[in-house]
């Protein structure tokens, strides 16, 4: 485990916080080194912190051992959405607060929490340490923090995960290519003591309002209200796609006639075949039944100025 310590100062009554920056080097060695250098330069020296570099997924347990055995108060994920999810899952239900230095392509949770995309600014926000409690979701017992779903977005997530090219441009290219190829599917949804059947292009279960990149599919969703916004995108043609896109870009997806939105703290969706789901963009093949549950107030997070709260 490669690790860098800024100081050996212990937490005292004057310095109660103790932070662990968890850096994912898979963003690129040069990028990782730059982020580490900036943290050392910008982070206040009167707050204890340590930096560890997470080598790969097989070594993450070593990071967890450090985090949970040394009385850290804050776990700061430095990387993209995958890194954030790994760190967030490890502090669910604890007093450890999640912070984020965003270095990915979507940065959905960081954006939703009002954290800056500029490294120097987000380091200041982390040092200030304004904290909130937020909900998280599970899909078939797999945790997610922003959005999860089935249908087109899960299909795209699955294709993107196997693509040799990463980044926003690659994601957009795949999305445009598949947009009119993908066929809507039949679903049965059970929630709020009711059952409905829908033919849908996608179904998104939103704990937060956006997928990432400030692309809001459920702009009215809040992260501390104990419920999801359930978004059903019905079949559409070429002009329907334009209607949906315009409303999403305006931050008013719910105004599209092709979108239905419901609120619930759980939903069970049944479909005709096994297919991918996604949890914060990460895809996984799952069976015909997909169950979503909201877990209220179980995650402490560091926030900036955000509309994600009641």
Domain boundaries, the chain: 3-135, 142-296
Q: What is the DSSP string of 148-188?
A: EEEEHHHHHHHHHHT-S--SHHHHHHHHHHHTTT---EEEE
CATH 3.30.1370.60, domain 3-135, yes or no: no
CATH topology agreement for domains 3-135 and 142-296: no
Q: pLDDT tens across 156-191, in order?
A: 888 888 777 766 678 788 888 888 789 999 999 999
- Is the pLDDT confidence value at 5 over 50? no
3-class secondary structure, 136: strand
Say what the pLDDT of residue 222 is.
96
pLDDT, tens digit, for every residue of 64-105? 999 999 999 999 999 988 899 999 999 999 999 999 999 887
Q: H or E stretch including 44?
A: none
pLDDT at 2: 40
- Label residue 6 by pLDDT band (50, 70, 90): very low
**Least confident among 35-39, 163-167, 293-297:** 163-167
Which CATH class, in words, describes the domain spanning 142-296? mainly beta
pLDDT tens string 207-249: 999 998 888 999 999 999 999 999 999 999 889 989 998 999 8
CA distance 191 to 304: 33
Between 57 and 64, where is the model more confident? 64
Nearest partner of 3 among 22, 30, 17, 27, judged by Cα: 22
Closest by alpha carbon to 236, among 245, 249, 224? 245
Lowest mean pLDDT among 102-116, 143-157, 166-180, 253-267: 166-180
Is 9's pLDDT higher than 80?
no
- State the Cα–Cα distance between residues 310 and 308, nearest whole angstrom: 7
């Amino acid at each position: 485990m490669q690790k860098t310590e800024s100081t050996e100062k212990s937490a005292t009554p004057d310095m109660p916080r103790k932070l662990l920056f968890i850096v994912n080097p898979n963003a690129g060695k040069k990028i990782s080194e730059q982020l580490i250098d900036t943290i050392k330069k910008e982070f206040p020296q009167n707050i204890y912190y340590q930096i560890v570099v997470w080598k790969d997924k097989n070594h993450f347990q070593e990071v967890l051992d450090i985090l949970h055995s040394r009385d850290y108060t804050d776990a700061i994920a430095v990387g993209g959405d995958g890194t954030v999810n790994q760190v967030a899952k490890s502090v669910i239900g604890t007093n450890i607060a999640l912070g984020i230095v965003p270095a990915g392509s979507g940065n959905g949770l960081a954006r939703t929490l009002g954290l800056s995309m500029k490294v120097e600014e987000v380091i200041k926000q982390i040092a200030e340490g304004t904290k909130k409690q937020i909900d998280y979701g599970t899909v078939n017992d797999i945790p997610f923090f922003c959005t999860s779903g089935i249908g087109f977005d899960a299909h795209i997530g699955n294709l993107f995960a196997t693509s040799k090219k990463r980044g926003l441009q690659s994601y957009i290219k795949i999305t445009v290519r598949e947009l009119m190829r993908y066929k809507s599917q039949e679903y049965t949804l059970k929630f709020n003591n009711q059952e409905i059947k829908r033919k849908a292009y996608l179904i998104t279960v939103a704990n937060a309002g956006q997928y990432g990149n400030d692309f809001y599919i459920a702009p009215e969703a809040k992260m501390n209200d104990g419920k999801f916004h359930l978004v059903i995108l019905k079949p559409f043609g070429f002009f329907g796609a334009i209607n949906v896109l315009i409303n999403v870009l305006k931050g008013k997806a719910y105004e599209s006639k092709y979108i239905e939105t419901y609120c619930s703290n759980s939903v069970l969706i049944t479909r005709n075949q096994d297919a991918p789901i996604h949890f914060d963009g990460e895809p996984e093949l799952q069976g015909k039944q997909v169950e979503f549950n909201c877990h209220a107030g179980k995650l402490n997070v560091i926030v900036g100025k955000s509309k994600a709260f009641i």
